[in-house]
Every structure is written in C-alpha cells, then in structure tokens.
C-alpha cells in the first residue's frame, strides 16, 4: 500500500513517526511519503517537506505568510496527484490539512484525519468539512467523538499518542552528570518548538530566573531551530540548554514553566507541577479572543474541564506572576498537592491505549 502523511508541527512529526513504525509492522511493503520532520524520516518515511518551513503561529502571522502557504498547498496537492496514494493521512495542523482533505477527497483518495482539529473550541463550522472531506477521524481526546458525531463525522476515540511516546522513552541515568547539572532543584523551561513561540516568551522567562538563586534552570531546546534562538540564555550561569531531550529534562524537573501546547500534557504525564504561559501578537490575540469558545487553552485544563494548572496568558504573562506561582509550586503547598491529585485523575482519563497501533490497524483494515 502507498500512504501519504502530512504533519506540520513538531508534535505531529513525533506521532507521525510512531504511526509510520506501526504501519510498517503491519504492512511490510508499505511505501510512505510524508511532510513532517526527523522522526517521520527516521521511521522510514520519504520526507518531502520539513515542518520547520511550515510552522506559522497565530492569525496575523499566517496572513503575513499567506502567499508562501498557498505555494506549499499547491505543491502538496500536485505531489499527492503524482504519487497516487491508497490513503492520505492528515495529522493535526488544521489550517493546512483541512484544505488538503478537501482536495484529496475531491480527487477520490481515501482521507483519514488523525488528531482532529479542535473545531469544538472555536470554529464549529469546520466540523462540516470533516464530515464532507474525511472517511474517518481518529480523536485523541475522549470527549471529541460525541461532539463530532452530532455533525455526522465518523469519529473514533483511539487514546492519546503521547502515551506511546512516553512508553517508548528510555531514561538516561547519567543525564545530570552528562550536562553537569549538580544536585540543585531543577526548573524546566519549555518555551515551545516554533520560532514565534520562543521569540514571544523566552526573554520574560529569563527575567524570572534571578528570583530563584538556589535553583538551576534547564531550557528544553529543539534542534530544528537555529541555535542562535537560544543566544539570550547563554550568558546566564544559572541556566543550562539541553537540546532534543525534553523527556529527560522533565524526568529531572521539580517544576516546569511551559508554553501552551502539547508540552503541557506531556509535563502532566511526567507528574511535574507546572505553570502554563502564552503570548502572541496583539492582533492574533484579539482575533482569538473573539473566536475561541472554551475557558482554557492548556490541554491539561481542557481535558479536566477545570483550572488544574495556572494559565498566564498575554497581559497576565508577567515576571511577577511567574515568580509568584513558581514559588507556590516549588515547595510542599496546597497548590502543588492539588496539581498532583488532578494529574492522577487526568492519567486515568487519558488511559494507556497503544494509540499508534490502533490507528494503523484501523487504516489497514479499511484498505484491505
């Protein structure tokens, strides 16, 4: 069978890589062409375009790069037509992938959507597109299928693929020694994986560091971006930079300050107390405020439908607030214990299904 997989972000690449491995286990003759990153390529996919070229964040940023994005869409469409896959598998990345779904379905390819767009959060009208342009949607949030089915979408809950990634993680017992981290408590800084995320949050995070003199900070950097993005960190003797070892960093962390995204759920699954932060351009933020219909932005709070972790968004993302919340969560306080208790409930909700294997099996069954 021939598969064409499209992921446009770092998390999608991680889950795409695990999915490719499972597909190849079930289909030894699988041919896989993909948009993604290193994880998908290492798993055996033929990489067409790296997600580092696609990661535009925020409404204003997307508008500024609309010409470039349209060029990518046309290229992807032409590549799919030329390749003629048996299945097109779209992973998250809704703005781009819903357009690819429409094109692929109109060309009579089978279309699967893995990690569904969060249309329940801000644009329910997009749900009709899922019904029209996909054969099947694989949901990773337990409440999604009931919402999607009201719109006639063929949606199935398959568990959360982060559990696959964490299950496959092998801790390095020499991690602290290798990075000369000593024995002080560690605060992990997870500023994100995209250029705009890091530019929007990193300097504010660094301003909070001097308020914690007995603590060491570790920035979980990503290798898909130029190392120069982390230059502001290098002059701080109290901070280390560790690249592409986020799970190792979380395993050692006493607390994490995390840019909203997939990493908030990863942090919770590693049982690390956290403060969630987020900042975007003023224009993008105002548009988002007008459209978003949910109370929270972090996956932890969305899944639990309560404020498990503090969210410091836009004007609330200040040094003073970071310091205040971090000091509460660094020691044995009611706030810290409350997060641990909620994490236990969260982990039960997420479950421990082999998500990548389930998705691969269901696609394979449809095609044979």
| pLDDT given at position 124 | 73
Q: Is the pLDDT of residue 69 over 80?
A: no
Average confidence (pLDDT) over 42-59: 80
pLDDT band at 126 (very low <50, low <70, confident <90, very high): confident
For residue 294, give the DSSP letter.
S
**Sign of torsion, CA 88 351 220 318?**
positive
Question: Per-residue pLDDT averaged across 34-49, rounded?
Answer: 96
| Residue 34: per-residue pLDDT | 97
* pLDDT at residue number 60: 45
| Least confidently predicted of 18-27, 35-44, 99-108, 216-225 | 216-225
What per-residue confidence (pLDDT) applies to 153? 95
pLDDT, position 61: 53
Distance CA 88, CA 136 (A): 11
pLDDT band at 20 (very low <50, low <70, confident <90, very high): very high
On the question of pLDDT at 255 being above 70, the answer is yes
- Ordered by where they begin, the domains of the chain are 2-159+353-367 (3.40.50.2000), 175-350 (3.40.50.2000)
Give the span between the Cα atoms of 365 and 362, in whole angstroms: 5
Region 232-247 average pLDDT = 92
Question: How do 136-139 and 216-221 pair as beta strands?
Answer: unpaired
CA distance 181 to 217: 9
* pLDDT tens-digit series, residues 314-350: 899 999 999 999 999 998 899 999 999 999 999 999 9
Q: What are the helix and strand counts (H, E) for the chain?
A: 18, 13
| Token pair listed for 303 | 């899944």
Give me the mean pLDDT over the 163-179 stretch.
92
Is it the case that residue 38 has pLDDT exceeding 50? yes
Mean predicted lDDT score pLDDT of the chain: 90
User: Does the pLDDT value for residue 286 go beyond 80?
Assistant: no
Mean pLDDT in residue range 75-104: 96
Least confident of 26-40, 121-135, 234-248: 121-135
Closest CA to 53 of 195, 231, 155: 195
Confidence at 119, pLDDT banded by 50, 70, 90:
confident
Closest CA to 113 of 126, 94, 128: 94
Cα–Cα distances (Å) from 84 to 34, 81, 88, 109, 307, in that order, read 13, 5, 9, 8, 46
Residue 299, pLDDT above cutoff 60: yes
More confident residue, 50 or 281: 50
Which DSSP state fits 2? E
DSSP-derived letter for residue 331 is S
Q: What is the pLDDT of residue 307?
A: 94
């Amino acid at each position: 069978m021939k598969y064409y997989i499209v992921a446009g972000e770092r998390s999608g690449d991680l889950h795409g890589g695990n999915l490719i491995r499972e597909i190849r286990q079930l289909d030894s003759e699988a041919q896989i062409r993909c948009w993604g990153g290193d994880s998908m390529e290492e798993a055996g996919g033929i990489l067409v375009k790296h997600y580092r070229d696609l990661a535009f964040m925020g409404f204003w940023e997307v508008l500024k790069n609309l010409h470039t994005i349209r060029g990518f869409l046309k290229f992807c469409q032409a590549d799919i037509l030329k390749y003629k896959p048996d299945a097109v598998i779209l992973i998250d990345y809704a703005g781009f992938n819903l357009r690819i779904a429409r094109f692929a379905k109109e060309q009579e390819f089978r279309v699967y959507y893995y990690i569904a767009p969060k249309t329940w959060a801000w644009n329910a009208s997009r749900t009709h597109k899922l019904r029209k342009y996909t054969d099947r949607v694989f949901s990773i949030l337990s409440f999604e299928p009931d919402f999607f089915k009201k719109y006639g979408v063929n949606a199935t809950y398959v568990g959360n693929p982060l559990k696959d990634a964490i299950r496959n993680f092998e801790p390095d017992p020499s991690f602290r020694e290798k990075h000369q981290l000593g024995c002080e408590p560690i605060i992990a800084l997870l500023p994100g994986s995209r250029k705009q995320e890091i530019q929007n949050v990193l300097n504010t995070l660094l301003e909070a560091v001097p308020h914690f003199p007995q603590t060491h900070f570790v920035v979980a950097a990503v290798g898909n971006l130029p190392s120069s993005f982390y230059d502001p960190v290098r002059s701080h003797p109290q901070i280390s930079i560790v690249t592409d070892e986020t799970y190792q960093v979380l395993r050692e962390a006493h607390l994490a300050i995390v840019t909203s995204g997939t990493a908030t759920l990863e942090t919770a699954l590693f049982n690390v107390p956290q403060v969630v932060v987020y900042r975007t351009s003023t224009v993008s933020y105002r548009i988002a405020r007008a459209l978003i219909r949910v109370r929270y932005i972090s996956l932890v709070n969305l899944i639990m439908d309560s404020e498990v972790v503090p969210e410091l968004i836009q004007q609330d993302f200040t040094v003073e607030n970071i310091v205040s919340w971090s000091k509460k969560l660094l020691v044995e306080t009611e706030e810290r214990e409350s997060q641990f208790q909620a994490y236990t409930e969260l982990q039960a909700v997420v479950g421990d299904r082999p998500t990548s294997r389930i998705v691969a099996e269901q696609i394979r069954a449809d095609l044979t």
